[in-house]
A and B are shown apart, each in its own frame.
Chain A
Amino acid sequence: MSQAALSAFPEPAPAPAVETVGLSCWYVPGRPVLRDIDLAVAPGSICMILGPSGSGKSTLLKVIKGLLPLNAGTLSLFGQPVAGRTHARSRRALERSVAWIPQHLGLVRSLTVLDNVLSGTLARVGTLASLVGAFPHTLRDEALATLDSLGIRAKADEKVFSLSGGERQRVAIARALMQHPTLVLADEFVSQLDPLTTREMLDIVQGIARTGVAFLITSHEVELVAEYGDRVVFIRDGRKIHEGAANAFTFASVMTLMGR
């Protein structure tokens, strides 16, 4: 290829953080929970997934994280196919880059906040050191700084079970960030929070997204979608029935999509 031909494409578009084509998934054969989902999330963007209860939002995040197998279609992370046995190796290699914040946060209640946050670094510390709790000082400092930026450094030594819902949410974010992810899958991220804290958390998310981290967030809160999302995807009965820019999305759009 000549020099001139190369310069005709000075900047190839970066591969999407997630890309699915015709993704389908079922728990019970013959009863698909997700059908034919096409999705692409650009690096550094925030994609909001909306849909009524039971529409398959959590399932979609689990398939992307690799916790559930996809039964049809393709799934790529950062341009690399990861679904199926043949791609198990690339899936493992990307494990750390994809953080998953489950619907109920998945925190270890009887461990301290700091230990929960440090567990986000497990893939990059030696097994033996981590087993005896000897995390490098740099990681400890990073964990404390992350807690500080989320406003809960003072709680570092408290057990998670003694925290409020909003505080737990921050711990879950901190653990995810300690993975140094480039894609964060957040399920019902702000559903437990009061409106003020919700905005605080989403402001933080926006700040992180600006550093190049892509977010896929499921939500029920229509007003927040337009304000904080870049794209919005609406799922109903396992099908994608709408995708578009988030800023034009309103409650009226939802009513139309739901056929009301």
Chain B
Amino acid sequence: MRSRRPPVFLITAGVAAGLALAMMGNLGLLDAAQLRRGVLNTTEFVRGLFPPNPQPLPTLLGATLETLQIAYVGTVLGVAGALPLALLATRTVFGPGVTGPVRLLLAGVRTVPALLWAVVFVVAFGLGPAAGAMGIAAYTLGYLGKLLYEVFEGVDGEVVDAVRSVGCNRAQLTRFALLPEAANGILSQLLFVFEYNVRASSIMGFVGAGGIGFHLLGYLQLLQYRNLFTALLLTLGVVIAIDYLSGRVRRMVLPPAPAA
């Protein structure tokens, strides 16, 4: 006879749902009056967006360009730091005495969100896109560093051992085994992080770190919803365009399916 196990799944799901309900109460999401107000306000807000106002478009295009530059420069600087650190964090190449501290450093950098890094750099560099680019760079370093050491450690151990066992040093091992074997993985993560950074750059302006975010926040605070809508549409268009382009690059360069 089959033994009857306690319905662990049901109990877990029940507890999770109960917790969520209790917290929703705390957050005011179960308050009927507040919910009704929310719906009404949203409808009014959405109605206020139409029609988008084309007048600030020239200014916004300039800001969008700045956003893209923040994302690009931040990504490039971040990658330049992340690649060597990721190698130092790869356990198949370095011992725990090196990988441990480097991983700790990457994890530390990663705990601070990009926007907070931007605040730090605004304090250091003053208001403007330089702080935004540095904020993106810092976050990219921590985040991409982790993604890349995972890519490096995913390289077939037999290949790494085979090349290492000819008697080469770590730099040669990197050049002749790790980088070529991991190239597709690296490129894939780079594109992913760049897409992410374009989104992150568009809100850098919230803390005075440049780009279109400055205008997004300004229109919101001044209740200029029609201008806001133009800025939102522009941002959305750019994000979609970048995703599309990076998808094209992906398909062009990377194999369509994992090779058998």
Contacts and interface: CB of A to CB of B under 8 A. Distances in A.
A66 B164 CA distance: 11
Interface in A100-124: 100-111, 115, 119-123
A49 to B, nearest CB: 18
Interface in B71-118: none
Interface in A74-108: 92, 95-96, 98-108
Given A108-B159, A111-B180, A127-B171, A122 B165 contact: no
Contact of A108 (B163, B167, B172): B163
Interface in A16-73: 65-67
B144 interface: no
A102 B162 contact: yes
Contact of B175 (A65, A67, A120, A131): A131
B158 interface: yes
A239 interface: no
Given A127-B171, A131-B171, A161-B259, A115 B176 contact: yes
B31 interface: no
Interface in A171-211: 175, 179
B153 interface: no
A131 B159 CA distance: 18
A147 to B, nearest CB: 17
A175 B167 CA distance: 12
B169 A119 contact: no
Interface string B238-249: 000000000000
Given A104-B158, A108-B181, A120 B165 contact: no
Nearest to A65: B165
A123 B168 CA distance: 5
Interface string B136-177: 000000000000000000001011011101111101100111
Contact of B159 (A67, A98, A103, A106): A106
B165 A119 contact: no
Interface residues of A, number: 32
Contact of A123 (B162, B166, B177, B259): B166
B154 to A, nearest CB: 14
Contacts of A247: none
A106 B167 contact: no
Chain B binding surface SS class: helix
Contacts of B172: 119, 122, 127, 130-131
Nearest to A94: B167
Nearest to A120: B166
B159 A96 contact: no
Given A102-B161, A108-B163, A119-B166, A130 B175 contact: yes
A181 B175 CA distance: 23
A100 B162 contact: yes
Contacts of B181: 108-110
A119 to B, nearest CB: 5
B168 A122 contact: yes
B65 interface: no
B220 interface: no
A107 B163 CA distance: 8
A96 B259 contact: no
Interface string B3-44: 000000000000000000000000000000000000000000
A106 B180 CA distance: 13
Nearest to A176: B166
B255 to A, nearest CB: 10
Given A106-B158, A107-B159, A127 B169 contact: yes
B167 A95 contact: yes
B183 interface: yes
A30 B73 CA distance: 55
A122 B169 CA distance: 8
Of B159, B176, B181, most A-chain CB atoms within 10 Å: B176
A106 B168 contact: no
Contacts of A108: 159, 163, 176-177, 180-181
A180 to B, nearest CB: 10
A95 B171 contact: no
B166 A110 contact: no
Given A130-B175, A131-B175, A110 B183 contact: yes
16 contacts: A67-B165, A95-B167, A96-B167, A99-B165, A101-B162, A103-B158, A106-B156, A106-B159, A108-B176, A110-B180, A111-B176, A119-B172, A119-B177, A123-B167, A127-B169, A131-B171
Given A67-B165, A115-B176, 10 more contacts: A96-B166, A100-B162, A106-B158, A106-B159, A106-B163, A108-B159, A110-B183, A122-B169, A122-B172, A130-B176
